[in-house]
């Protein structure tokens, strides 16, 4: 009986220790994380686009977490921007860090590619702007019409990637996804980003 009680107490202690280490301490650390002052909350349209980003599986091929150059210098060399910090994700519920990079990291895609027309063409047919791209086309986010209306957002697809006749018009879903992609610009300063330590000066001989 005493042995069984000791096992139960030991198991409870291990569970408590694991909870403190993996849940409580990280929560306390993150609640004190400084939010970058230039980070803005998502607009309603951007939130709709974010849900479309999730629903269409973009997170499976794209990450949103440039890493520190000391750990992964390739991220910086690719022009993906500064390393991300915890405060960058304060408005992301759930976060979309991603685990695969079949495509490029999108943490700063709006800074690297600010053209709305480029993104719409890319969504309609990725190979129209990126030769050899393996990204699937998202043509269901667009409508093909004989003549666009005054309020329609026409997407001028370069030949031979567009239709032979008529016009391509972006749906509200395409425009929402576009708004989300154009919100991914984290080039503002990050107060909690570790600063490189100063190299000691070489002693004079």
pLDDT tens, position by position, 41-72: 999 999 999 999 999 999 999 999 999 888 88
Domain match, 4 and 89 both: no
Task: Output the average pLDDT for the chain.
Answer: 88
Domain of 179 in residue numbering reads as: 41-183
In the chain, which ranges are E strands? 142-145, 153-155, 167-170
pLDDT of residue 205: 38
Asked if the model's pLDDT at residue 156 lies above 70, the reply is: yes
Is 190 within a domain? no
Domain match, 171 and 128 both: yes
Collapsing DSSP to helix, strand or coil, 88 comes out as helix
Give the residues across from 142 on adjacent strands. 170
Is 115 within a domain? yes
Domain match, 163 and 64 both: yes
Better-predicted residue by pLDDT, 99 or 141: 141
Is 78 within a domain? yes
Domain match, 63 and 6 both: no
Domain match, 63 and 121 both: yes
pLDDT of residue 29: 57
Mean local confidence (pLDDT), 139-152: 95
Q: Which of 12-21, 25-34, 66-75 has the lowest mean pLDDT?
A: 25-34
Predicted TM-score of the model (pTM): 0.81
CATH code of residue 125: 1.10.760.10
Whether the Cβ atoms of residue 107 and residue 81 lie closer than 8 Å to each other: yes
Is 167 within a domain? yes
Domain match, 70 and 45 both: yes
Cα(191)–Cα(195) distance, integer angstroms: 10
Is 99 within a domain? yes
Collapsing DSSP to helix, strand or coil, 163 comes out as coil
Domain match, 92 and 74 both: yes
Better-predicted residue by pLDDT, 4 or 63: 63
pLDDT of residue 84: 92
Is 20 within a domain? yes
Asked if the model's pLDDT at residue 203 lies above 80, the reply is: no
Is 200 within a domain? no
Domain match, 56 and 23 both: no
């Amino acid at each position: 009986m005493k042995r069984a009680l000791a096992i139960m107490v030991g198991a409870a202690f291990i569970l408590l220790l694991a909870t403190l280490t993996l849940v409580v301490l990280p929560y306390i650390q993150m609640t004190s994380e400084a939010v970058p002052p230039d980070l803005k909350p998502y607009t309603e349209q951007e939130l709709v686009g974010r849900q479309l980003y999730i629903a269409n599986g973009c997170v499976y091929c794209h990450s949103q977490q440039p890493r520190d150059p000391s750990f992964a210098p390739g991220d910086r060399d690719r022009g993906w921007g500064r390393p991300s910090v915890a405060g960058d994700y304060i408005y992301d519920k759930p976060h979309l860090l991603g685990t695969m990079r079949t495509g490029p990291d999108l943490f700063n895609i709006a800074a690297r590619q600010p053209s709305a027309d480029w993104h719409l063409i890319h969504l309609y047919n990725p190979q129209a702007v990126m030769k050899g791209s393996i990204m699937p086309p998202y043509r269901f986010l667009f409508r093909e019409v004989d003549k666009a209306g005054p309020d329609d957002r026409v997407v001028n697809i370069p030949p031979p990637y567009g239709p032979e006749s008529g016009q391509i018009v972006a749906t509200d879903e395409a425009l929402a996804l576009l708004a989300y992609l154009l919100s991914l610009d984290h080039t503002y300063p990050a107060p909690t980003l570790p600063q490189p330590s100063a190299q000691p000066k070489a002693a004079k001989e």
